[in-house]
Amino acid sequence: MASITSIANDFFAACETGKGWEAYKAYCSPNATFAAQAEPLVGIKTLAEYTDWMKDTERNNVAAYAVFSGTHIGPGGPCEPTGKKTTSDYVYVMQFTGDKISHMTKIRHSGMALKELGWA
């Protein structure tokens, strides 16, 4: 049995290259659901619908998700070290012109991280 990390990596690579549901369904439950807080995706409720939507390369966008984790233990920030921790999700959305990135937007709720660190 493949590891979930391997499956997730394979799924992500397939999804970001716009191969559609036929290429993804081996990685997913048949009725896998989908959610997003994005107006263009309001009517999309299943992973199959989303992966077929990703076949549209006209957007010329690639999104990459990551998690920042840290503990305020040293200098920096608006106060003395708090010893508090944060785990903060963020996404880069890269707009391409041809094969070059022409714009990038970082999506992150920094207010939550600042509160967790005791800075707000």
- Residue 74 belongs to domain with CATH number: 3.10.450.50
- Which residue would you say has higher pLDDT here, 57 or 98? 98
Which domain, by its residues, includes 70?
60-120
- pTM for this model (two decimals): 0.50
Quick: pLDDT tens for 70-84.
Answer: 898 988 778 888 999
Handedness of CA 91, 40, 102, 10 (dihedral sign): positive
Handedness of CA 11, 16, 17, 23 (dihedral sign): positive
Quick: pLDDT tens for 92-115.
Answer: 888 877 877 788 888 888 888 888
How many structural domains compose the chain?
Answer: 2
Nearest CA to 63 among 11, 32, 104, 35?
A: 104
Contact 72, 115 (CB under 8 A): no
Q: Say if residue 17 is in the same domain as residue 52.
A: yes
Q: Say if residue 54 is in the same domain as residue 64.
A: no
Burial of 32 (0-12, 13-18, 19+ CB in 10 A): middle
Quick: pLDDT tens for 18-54.
Answer: 778 888 788 888 888 888 877 788 888 998 888 888 7
